Amino acid sequence: MDTCLTAGDMPGAPRLRLMALGGPMLDEARAERGVRALSALGFEMENLQCMTRRTSRFAGEDTQRAADLNALADPLAPMPDLIMATRGGYGAARLFEQIDFERLCPRLNDAGTILMGYSDNTAIQLALLAKGGVITFSGPMLYGDFGVESPSPFMLNWLSRVLCAPTFELNIEAPQVASCDVTGTLWGGNLVVLTSLVGTPWLPRVEGGILFLEEIGEDLYRVERMLLQLWQAGILSRQSAILIGGFTAYKPDGFDAGGYTLDRVLDALRRRLDVPIVTGLPIGHVPDIVPMPIGAQGRLVADTTGFRLSVSGYPVLKRFPAAFVL
């Protein structure tokens, strides 16, 4: 695993606070493996009580889940170095009206606290960007990524590289349909969640951005319908490029199981949209994840052989876990 070259500016182990904004963790052993894996890296774990909460299909009552973040809005509360989602599921969007964005956003920005998650957590991440310009990370979570028997070395390597340095460059060798060389705000997340925010104050208005998308377990016709909605709402046409990440476990089409593929869906979108669509970004519900800052600055250069994504302008750890330090 790549490591940071120097220790952080602040003494002591970095503090990692868990947030459980969506669904519960039903496999206790898996959740505990995740805590052990993160502790072994050198993080001091906090808010562990959220791991065992459960109310209906959620990781606790709405007020409890909102408190995972609202507790940090208190100006006297010590700020963690990293906030990590336990898992996704559903429930984050129920918390919008209860979260104290007015006080929380400046505290996160001033402290440089990193917030990380994906899937359902996209709702809160986009709201933080819209309400206070808070840059968060679409990146690994406790249950799905650290709770497995063997966390991905690729993921661990990129986690240390991204969280330790103020810039990074990702090179992907994958054939691309279109060439481009564009710059803009890097933003996005889960397709279903992002689409559900259209027409609400929780979706940031990004002009000339590089929009990345990921999804899991959706029918392809639903994927196409959501992409068309984003196009028809004018969101896709306002971007400089679209980056497609992991679209895993999508369901074959019952009417054309062999021919109606994700490639066909993207080709249909390309015929409508005069914006380059680039594929192969390692994000989403996949083992090999590169943390993507939502709200940072990016440059995307693509051609027929692959693409290069250069990213800057995001918060980094001020003190590093022991496993990240030489």
**Catalytic residue annotation:** 119, 214, 285
* Cβ-defined contacts of 25-33 (< 8 Å, 24+): 25/51, 25/59, 25/86, 25/87, 25/142, 25/143, 25/147, 27/143, 27/147, 28/52, 30/143, 30/147, 30/148, 31/86, 31/142, 31/143, 31/147, 33/146, 33/147, 33/148, 33/149
Angle at 37 between CA 139 and CA 166, to 5 degrees: 40
Closest CA to 137 of 317, 318, 4: 317
β-sheet bridge partners, residue 44: 15
* Placement of tokens 């005069």 in the chain: 274
Nearest to 123 by CA among 67, 72, 85, 81: 85
Write the single-letter amino acid at 172. Answer: I
**Distance of alpha carbon 223 from the chain centroid:** 19
